[in-house]
Structure 1
Amino acid sequence: LLFAGVYSGRGVAMSTVWGAAAARLLAGVASERDMPVSVTPMRTVFGHDFAVQVARFVHPWHRFQDQIEAKASTRK
């Protein structure tokens, strides 16, 4: 399993480099030392479960705020 993370819109160059390097690694042409970032075992991220639960409430609230702001800007 290879996973490079979530790039958040700023990782176009990194995701392109990572994809090419991952292909070489999976094809047996390159080793883990040749990867653009270190290859590490999977691990649990502290607080992830809590963050997911918070996001389930925060994201809809932000969408609601965006709708209110959009309606207010069209009335001007």
Structure 2
Amino acid sequence: MCYPEDCGKSASKFGVRIPLRPYQDRNRTELDRIILFAFLFLPRCFQVLFFLIFLLSCFIMTGLFDFFLVHCGSKPH
């Protein structure tokens, strides 16, 4: 068994950086925390539903949704 500081040093030799406190990482955004929570603690059916909602939100945010709505939806008269 090794101490946390020794583990961090030995792991960094191989190019792998292991966060000692992953849940207190300040670089994580709120969205990353939500995704992490969803995939760790929700059952499989909710994971699939959450992933589809996440993809749909990305689709809408990028503006592709408006593009397809205009070109594939009802044509303006």
Give me the TM-score of the superposition, normalised by structure 2. 0.29
Larger Rg: 2
More helix by share: 2
Give me the TM-score of the superposition, normalised by structure 1. 0.30
